[in-house]
Structure 1
Amino acid sequence: MKIITVCGSGLGSSFMLEMNIKKVLKELGINAEVGHKDLATVVPEDADIFVMSKSFDDKVSVPCKITLSNIISLEEIREKLSAELKNRGLL
């Protein structure tokens, strides 16, 4: 499974979000490849799940998207990512 985090420039907030997702995945015992990209280079085939701030929700068209109100909230990341992983039968 591959997860891509997205932000405007692909450097700051998407990298921070990537690190937080890795923490949550480790807690859940899930192995996944996690990376980050900028908004302009997102391609639906790049990942199974895309994670981003709600502010980018209408700017990214991908099959599986998790949008966050607070990208630094481990609790929100854990809640939404866990729900998606359960839907996929991985938890």
Structure 2
Amino acid sequence: MKFLAVCGFGVGSSMILRMSIEKVCRELNLDAEVENTDISSAHGAQCDAIFTSAELQAELQNSDIPVYPIKKYMDLAEVKEAVQKFLEEQK
């Protein structure tokens, strides 16, 4: 599976979010590829889920790919909850 961590420019905060998602995936024993990217690139990307800020969620919600808002990118409990929600919705 492939996850995207998205921020406005695809450099700073999305990198932090990516690292948090990777930690959660290791903890959950998920085989997932996680990439960070900017909002423009995310529109055409092929992935299973997008994780981003609440501010960017609405702009990315126009596709068939589920989008999960994260408030605190370093909060592993919040990130884990979002990943688990994605997994639950895939059943």
Q: Tell me whether the two structures share a fold, i.e. TM-score over 0.5.
A: yes
Give 2:56's aligned residue: 56
Aligned residues between the structures = 89
Unaligned runs of 5+ in 2: none
Whole-angstrom distance in 1 between the partners of 2:58 and 2:90: 24
CA pair 67-44 structure 1, distance change in 2 beyond 3 A: farther
Rounded Cα–Cα distance in structure 2 between residues aligned with 1:44 and 1:70: 25
SS in 2 for 1:46: coil
Query: What corresponds to 1:67 in structure 2?
Result: 69
State whether residues 44 and 62 of structure 1, in contact with CA within 8 Å, keep that contact through their aligned partners in structure 2.
no
Calculate percent identity across the aligned residue pairs: 29
> Scaled by the length of structure 2, what TM-score is found?
0.88
Instruction: Give the unaligned 5+ runs of structure 1.
Output: none
**Structure 1 residue 44: Cα displacement:** 4.9
Structure 1 residue ranges, 4+ long, deviating more than 4 angstroms after superposition: none
Superposition RMSD in Å:
1.3
Cα deviation 1:47-84 (Å, max 9, x = unaligned): 11000011111221232111112222111001111121
* In the alignment, structure 1 residue 29 sits paired with structure 2 residue 29: yes
Is 1:6 aligned to 2:6, yes or no? yes
Cα distance in 2 for partners of 1:53, 1:7 equals 7
Is the CA contact (8 Å cut-off) linking 1:4 and 1:46 kept in structure 2?
no
**Structure 1: distance between partners of 2:2 and 2:46:** 8
Give the counterpart letter for 1:87 in structure 2.
Answer: E
